[in-house]
């Protein structure tokens, strides 16, 4: 995409991709709701993020999450500001918000307020606990939501404490991504019913959904309710990580028998009786100890070279800075230059052959599109000046 095309998209809000023509209003927040907005924007939707007037002109602290957005600085606590946003949603397809239950209603921007004016609107709500239930009004973060959902207990070593998996499971996998799916599903529903609806996406619900296979295995007696003793939690010696001589690690995922055989062949352990019965759980601790001893004998990249092309499901564990440079990620274009050309950012995904996704438009300064967006609502310069005088606009 040329620089002129990028500038044009940033100025007009016109996007390409499967969601081109869809307008989404995002009420400012952090974490999973902006991630949902980023995903929808990556897929071609016009996403207008509502910022606080006090932040106007500042660079966003989350430049990747706010890519492919336009920015409108409006005081939602002012009656005139809330009315501007309602006017904006009148001509929009979806609204997403990440407030605690009841906050949007108190601002006059709840589902009843917005759907009464635009019955086709999809109203997406992102919370940790959901819109109801005994914890609905309690504060929390990713770690709390995945703890109550059961996921955190299952992650970590057998002899150690639960390990937070960054904030990937609650905030993004079970949160923002689930909300994006819900919004798109509801938008499809509008095509057939002509009516919008509320999407209640809770991180506890989404985390539980991600545990579907784990609970299925548990029901079949194939998963113990303990950490580090199961097939996919590091308990199996052929599915886990091992420290190498240089302090790096390799990831081993040799579950199927043919991959397990290839693993033993590369490690010169094919004839070792300890490894004869792959699924002998009683032998797993000794097998893991032996594999740890072997892997500690060479550096990470040396092992990576030895396993390359051998079909053993063994890969190097790359750092955040290393991953963008891996040949496979380079060939796929999995990472792109970061905002402003520094660092890296993940490329939009998934890929669409019929409606290819353009490179992301960099996040604007907060409030940068205020006048252009309001002009599209028919707000003239005199009204903008009056609203600024009242402190409604940045």
Spacing of C-alpha 207 from chain mean position = 13
Please give the pLDDT value at position 13: 46
Please give the pLDDT value at position 126: 98
Among 55, 78, 113, 141, the one annotated catalytic: 141
Q: Does the active-site annotation cover 171?
A: yes
The residue assigned the tokens 């620089």 is: 3
Whole-model pTM? 0.93
The residue assigned the tokens 């409030």 is: 367
Task: Give per-residue pLDDT as tens, 274-311.
Answer: 999 999 999 999 999 999 999 999 999 999 999 999 99
Q: Is 162 exposed, middle or buried (0-12, 13-18, 19+ CB in 10 A)?
A: middle
Among 42, 75, 93, 171, the one annotated catalytic: 171
Six-digit token string for 134: 């005994």
CATH fold, domain 239-243+249-316, is: formyl-coa transferase, domain 3 (3.30.1540)
* Of 66, 227, 61, 32, nearest in space to 142 by CA: 32
Task: Give per-residue pLDDT as tens, 316-357.
Answer: 999 999 999 999 999 999 999 999 888 999 999 999 999 999
Contacts 24+ apart (CB under 8 A), 261-267: 262/310, 262/311, 262/312, 263/238, 263/312, 263/313, 263/314, 265/310, 265/312, 266/306, 266/307, 266/310, 266/312, 266/314, 267/291, 267/294
Please give the pLDDT value at position 39: 98
Domain spans, the chain: 3-210+330-390, 239-243+249-316
Q: Do domains 3-210+330-390 and 239-243+249-316 have the same CATH topology?
A: no
Please give the pLDDT value at position 9: 47
Please give the pLDDT value at position 15: 62
Beta bridge partners of 117: none
Residues in the chain predicted with pLDDT less than 50, given as ranges, are 1-13
What ranges in the chain are assigned the alpha helix state H?
3-12, 32-42, 79-90, 103-106, 111-117, 142-149, 177-193, 203-210, 212-219, 257-266, 284-295, 300-307, 327-332, 370-376, 381-390
Q: Kindly indicate whether the domain formed by 3-210+330-390 is annotated with CATH number 3.40.50.150.
A: no
């Amino acid at each position: 995409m040329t620089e002129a095309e990028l500038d044009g998209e940033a100025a007009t809000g016109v996007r390409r991709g499967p969601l081109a023509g869809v307008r989404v209003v995002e009420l400012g927040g952090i974490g999973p709701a902006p991630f949902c907005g980023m995903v929808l924007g990556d897929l071609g939707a016009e996403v207008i993020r509502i910022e606080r007037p006090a932040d106007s002109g500042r660079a966003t602290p989350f430049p990747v999450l706010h890519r492919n957005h336009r920015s409108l600085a409006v005081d939602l606590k002012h009656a005139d500001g809330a009315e501007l946003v309602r006017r904006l949603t009148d001509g929009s397809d979806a609204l997403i918000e990440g407030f605690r239950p009841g906050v949007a209603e108190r601002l006059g921007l709840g589902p009843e307020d917005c759907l009464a004016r635009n019955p086709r609107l999809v109203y997406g709500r992102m919370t940790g606990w959901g819109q109801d239930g005994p914890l609905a009004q309690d504060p929390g973060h990713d770690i709390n939501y995945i703890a109550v959902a059961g996921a955190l207990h299952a992650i970590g070593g057998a002899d150690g404490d639960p390990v937070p998996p960054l904030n990937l499971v609650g905030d993004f996998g079970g949160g923002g991504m689930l909300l994006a799916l819900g919004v798109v599903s509801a938008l499809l529903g509008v095509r057939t019913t002509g009516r919008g609806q509320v999407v209640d996406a809770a991180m506890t619900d989404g985390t539980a959904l991600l545990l579907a296979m784990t609970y299925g295995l548990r029901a079949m007696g194939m998963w113990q309710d303990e950490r580090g003793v199961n097939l996919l939690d590091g308990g199996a010696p052929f599915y886990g990580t091992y420290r190498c001589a240089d302090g790096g690690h390799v990831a081993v995922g040799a579950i199927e028998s043919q991959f397990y055989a290839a693993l033993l062949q590369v490690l010169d352990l094919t004839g070792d009786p300890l490894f004869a019965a792959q699924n002998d759980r009683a032998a797993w601790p000794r097998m893991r100890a032996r594999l740890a001893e072997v892997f500690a004998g060479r550096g990470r990249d040396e092992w990576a070279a030895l396993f390359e092309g051998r079909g053993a499901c063994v890969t190097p564990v790359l750092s955040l800075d290393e991953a963008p440079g891996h040949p496979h990620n380079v060939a796929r274009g999995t990472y792109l230059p970061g905002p402003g050309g520094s660092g890296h950012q993940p490329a939009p995904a998934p890929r669409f052959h019929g409606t290819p996704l353009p490179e992301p438009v960099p996040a604007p300064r907060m409030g940068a599109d205020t006048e252009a967006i309001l002009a599209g609502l028919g707000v003239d310069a005199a009204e903008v000046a009056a609203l600024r005088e009242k402190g409604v606009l940045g």
